Amino acid sequence: MKALLLSTYDLGHQPFGLASPAAWLIEAGAEVRFLDLAVQEFDEDAVIGADLIAIHVPMHTATRLAESAILRIKEINRKAHICCFGLYAPVNEEWLRSLGVHTVIGGEFEKPLTDLYRRLRNNSYVDGDPTVVSLDKQDFRRPHRVGLPSLDQYAQLIWPDDRRESVGYTEASRGCKHRCRHCPVVPVYNGQFRIIERDIVMADVRQLIAKGADHITFGDPDFFNGPGHTLRLVEDLHREFPHLTYDVTIKIEHLLKRQKDLPTLKETGCLFVTTAVESVDDRTLLMLDKGHTRSDFQAAVAISRRVGLALSPTFIPFTPWTTVLGYVDLLETVYSLGLVDALSPVQLSIRLLVPRGSRLRELDDWREHEGEFDPSALSFTWRHSDAAVEVLYRRVRDLVSDGESSGMERRQIFSTVWQAAHIAADLPTPELKFINIRSSHPYLSESWYCCAEPTEIQFARV
């Protein structure tokens, strides 16, 4: 029986979310093909020949892009069984089923997806399968990457001297032991996380290096949820591959609590740590239940800098609690902490998304802003009570989008937003002075974000 594993978008990564279940399905006897619409054209032959089509939806943009893929699949292969799996599948179950998706799987998806394959093959599948959200511990297999597009088609690591290196993406854990209110991990994992065995991660990194990877991105929601596991992993990796570099995501709270472990990250090749700061306003941080304050963020920057570990912060600058002056304060904080080069410009324009299942909906402070659920955006709508914030949001979004599409450097884009924000706040615009002539911060060519509009290019492939 033929299974087609399809990805629409995975933040510029060669999709681990296809490679991992592929290993399970092949072991169960499936003939597996891949289609990654982020880098490949829609392949009608692959779709027509498939009995099971499983679409990975790990994030918001990927899920929105899945709609046109599903509609096209239904046009040309009505017989195929369509499954959506991944973090965004269960919270969007109703919408996915309305598009014609038969099976919805969330959480630890490899085993339930393989079980589905077996039931289809054995003709024991019963229509109307309930949605599966499995947090069962799994014995992972080494991901199967043969047949995926090559690494040079995905995001690359860019050094300050414009050198480019190939990046492999893998995961050492899933889920998270925290329950931040805005986070899409929470409705599925609800404070739990699951480890991928060290020998499996090591084997996956070995095969990524064999395919040309110079740098590894660990996509764990938080690399320090299980620090015993991940620290030993990077020590083992460094012993075997002393020149390998990598990046991870770690929350501010963990950076402070585990500061004694930060030198280990640095010594084992960690180039930068993505950290979800989200806001520098303590009231907003409380709403989001982030577990850190503005001063914690400042302390984390200082501590990381002392050990020579670069931080790459992410923000959600536009929330119902944003003010124009607060936005200027955010820019001033980023600038004064010397983080302009470390900040991907898209982070200046992110607007809060509130999908079904979001813990934010528990809050009176949120509910007073909540509008209708917008199925096309997969989010509840909201408008800021201050029209000036809405105007600033649109201005910043356009400046960032224009700047990125015309190839402007991060500093230039920051400067245009800096000026627009000060004008909006009716403040004089202070001159920006950068100490280094060039950025000293390596970064990935594809920005990290989980909530933004899909681009025309992304839509064009499906």
Q: Which residues here bind ligand SF4, judged by CB under 6 A?
A: 176, 178-180, 183, 185-186, 221-222, 251, 276
Cβ atoms 207, 237 nearer than 8 A: no
Q: How far is the CB of 360 from ligand SF4 (least distance, A)?
A: 12
Pair of tokens at residue 128: 């109307």
Contact yes or no for 391/329 (Cβ under 8 A): no
Give the nearest distance from C-beta 249 to ligand SF4 in angstroms: 8
CA–CA separation, 220 vs 294, rounded Å?
24
Amino acid at 142: R
309 close to 273: Cβ distance less than 8 angstroms: yes
Which is nearer to ligand SF4, 30 or 316 (by Cβ)? 316
Task: Decide whether 86 or 269 has the Cβ nearer to ligand SF4.
Answer: 86
∠ CA 421-432-320, rounded to 5°? 25
Is residue 143 exposed (0-12), middle (13-18) or buried (19+ Cβ within 10 Å)?
buried
Q: Report the residue number, 38 or 450, with the smaller CB distance to ligand SF4.
A: 450
- The residue (of 20 and 225) whose beta carbon lies closer to ligand SF4 is 225
User: Which residues neighbour 88 within 8 Å (Cβ) at sequence distance 6 or greater?
Assistant: 57, 58, 59, 60, 62, 63, 184, 355, 378
129 vs 289, beta carbon nearer ligand SF4: 289
Q: How many helices (H) and strands (E) does the chain have?
A: 17, 17
DSSP labels for 65-98?
HHHHHHHHHHHH-SSSEEEEESTTTGGGHHHHHH
Query: Would you say 219 or 442 has its CB closer to ligand SF4?
Result: 219
Least gap, CB of 280 to ligand SF4 (angstroms):
16
d(CA 186, CA 276): 15
**To the nearest whole angstrom, how small is the minimum distance from the Cβ of residue 421 to ligand SF4?**
25
- Token pair for residue 125? 């599948």
Q: Using CA of residue 48, residue 30, residue 88, residue 450, what is the dihedral sign?
A: negative
- The H or E element spanning position 462 is none
- Least spacing, CB of residue 8 vs ligand SF4, in Å: 22
Q: How far is the CB of 180 from ligand SF4 (least distance, A)?
A: 3
Residue from 252, 204, 260 nearest 231 by CA? 260
DSSP 3-state helix, strand, coil percentages of the chain (rounded to 5)?
40, 20, 40
State the minimum distance, in angstroms, from the CB of residue 345 to ligand SF4: 21
Please, which residue, 168 or 219, has the CB nearer to ligand SF4? 219
Taking Cα atoms as reference points, which of 61, 18, 21 lies closest to residue 451?
A: 61
Supply the minimum distance, in Å, between the C-beta of residue 246 and ligand SF4: 18
Q: How far is the CB of 225 from ligand SF4 (least distance, A)?
A: 8
CB of 176 to ligand SF4, least distance (A): 3
If the CB atoms of residues 34 and 189 are measured against ligand SF4, the closer one turns out to be 189
Contacts 24+ apart (CB under 8 A), 365-373: 365/287, 365/320, 365/321, 366/287, 366/320, 369/320
Which residue number, 175 or 269, has a Cβ lying nearer to ligand SF4? 175
* CB nearer ligand SF4, residue 33 or residue 178: 178
Looking at residue 153, the DSSP 8-state letter turns out to be G
Q: Which residue's CB is nearer to ligand SF4, number 90 or number 269?
A: 90
User: Could you tell me the smallest distance in angstroms from the CB atom of residue 139 to ligand SF4?
Assistant: 24
Cα torsion at 358, 292, 400, 440 (round to 10°)?
-140
Minimum distance between the CB of residue 304 and ligand SF4, rounded to whole angstroms? 17
Helical H runs in 140-281? Answer: 186-189, 198-210, 227-240, 252-257, 262-267
Q: Which residue's CB is nearer to ligand SF4, number 72 or number 179?
A: 179
